[in-house]
């Protein structure tokens, strides 16, 4: 059984990766996701965690010798 929080958050979380990438999305969706990552107490750390993961990944960029 999912909690009410899960019902509210899950649809937004599905778009976190695209939002992080700046991928094209409808303006209203971008607004919803932006609001959610800023104000949701559960999703704010998740989004920051995703940002940190992406930053950690960027350290793998291969520098040409």
Partner 1 sequence: MTDAAAATPDAIAALEPTLRKFAFRATKNADLAQELAQATLASALEGSRSFEGRSQLRTWLLGVLAHKIVDHLRRLGRDGGEGPEDPDLLAAPDSQGVERVVAARHQLQRVEAALAQLPERERLALLLEVEGVSREEMCNALGVEPTHLRVVLHRGRHRLRRLLEKDEVR
Residues 37-56 that bind partner 1 (CB under 8 A): 42-43, 45-46, 48-50, 52-56
Work out whether 8 is an interface residue with partner 1 (CB under 8 A): no
Work out whether 64 is an interface residue with partner 1 (CB under 8 A): yes
Question: d(Cα 43, Cα 13) in Å, to the nearest integer?
Answer: 8
For 10-33, the three-class secondary structure string (H helix, E strand, C coil) is: HHHHCCHHHHHHCCCCCHHHHHHH
Task: State both tokens at 29.
Answer: 């969706």
Where on the chain is the footprint of partner 1 (CB under 8 A)? 9-10, 13-14, 17-18, 20-21, 23, 42-43, 45-46, 48-50, 52-62, 64-65
């Amino acid at each position: 059984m999912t909690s009410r929080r899960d019902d509210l958050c899950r649809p937004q979380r599905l778009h976190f990766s695209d939002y992080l990438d700046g991928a094209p999305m409808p303006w209203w969706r971008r607004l919803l996701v932006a609001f959610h990552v800023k104000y949701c107490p559960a999703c704010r750390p998740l989004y920051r965690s995703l940002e940190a993961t992406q930053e950690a990944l960027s350290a793998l960029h291969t520098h040409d010798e």
